[in-house]
């Protein structure tokens, strides 16, 4: 189901998608510099996939937060990499992750929880840590 179909079906708010698109144009379309120095990119198609998540639609700046606050990158299958993020928001620890394609495109990103982070840290090989 494409994003416009989801809007038409009332599953997703058109105004939130418009805000996410505006945010992408203003802040994301040229990529985001990771702490490693690499630039990760979110494509237009990837953006719409990411904006399925209501949290990221409500706060599109979290897309940048997840990418800028990367603390660890590990290998994954098919030359993908998983970038783990950690930050403090309103005094609370927050975790997120992004999966990067071999060419540095973000193919998915989410908030996650601490126990998932610990699972993540048992897989693959460590490529980079802050």
Partner 1 sequence: MDTLTVCYSWPGIDIDVLRLYIEPRRDNWEAAFVNGNPEVALLYAGEGEQIDQLAAVEIVGFSTFAAWDDLPDLPLRWRLAGEAPMTLRQLIRELQTRLVPHVEATARSGR
What residues line the site for partner 1 (CB under 8 A)?
A: 1-2, 11, 43, 45-46, 48-49, 52-55, 57-58, 76-78, 80, 82, 97, 99, 101, 105, 107-108, 110-113, 115-116, 119-120, 122-123
- Closer to partner 1 by CB, 11 or 18: give it: 11
Tell me the closest approach of the beta carbon of residue 41 to partner 1, in angstroms. 11
The two tokens of residue 99 are 């999966």
Residues 40-60 as b or e (16 or more Cβ within 10 Å = b): bbbbeebbbebbeeeebbeeb
Tell me the closest approach of the beta carbon of residue 102 to partner 1, in angstroms. 12
Tell me the closest approach of the beta carbon of residue 29 to partner 1, in angstroms. 16
- Closer to partner 1 by CB, 4 or 22: give it: 4
Tell me the closest approach of the beta carbon of residue 59 to partner 1, in angstroms. 10
Q: 105 - beta bridge partners?
A: 41
- Closer to partner 1 by CB, 119 or 125: give it: 119
């Amino acid at each position: 189901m494409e994003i416009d179909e989801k809007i038409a079906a009332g599953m997703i708010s058109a105004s939130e998608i418009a805000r996410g698109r505006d945010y992408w144009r203003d802040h994301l379309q040229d990529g985001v510099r990771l702490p490693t120095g690499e630039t990760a990119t979110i494509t237009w198609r990837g953006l719409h996939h990411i904006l399925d998540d209501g949290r990221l639609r409500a706060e599109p700046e979290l897309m940048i937060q997840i990418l800028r606050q990367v603390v660890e990158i590990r290998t994954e299958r098919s030359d993908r990499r998983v970038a783990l993020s950690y930050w403090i928001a309103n005094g609370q620890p927050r975790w997120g992750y992004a999966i990067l394609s071999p060419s540095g495109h973000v193919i998915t990103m989410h908030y996650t929880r601490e126990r998932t982070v610990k699972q993540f840290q048992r897989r693959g090989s460590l490529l980079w840590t802050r």
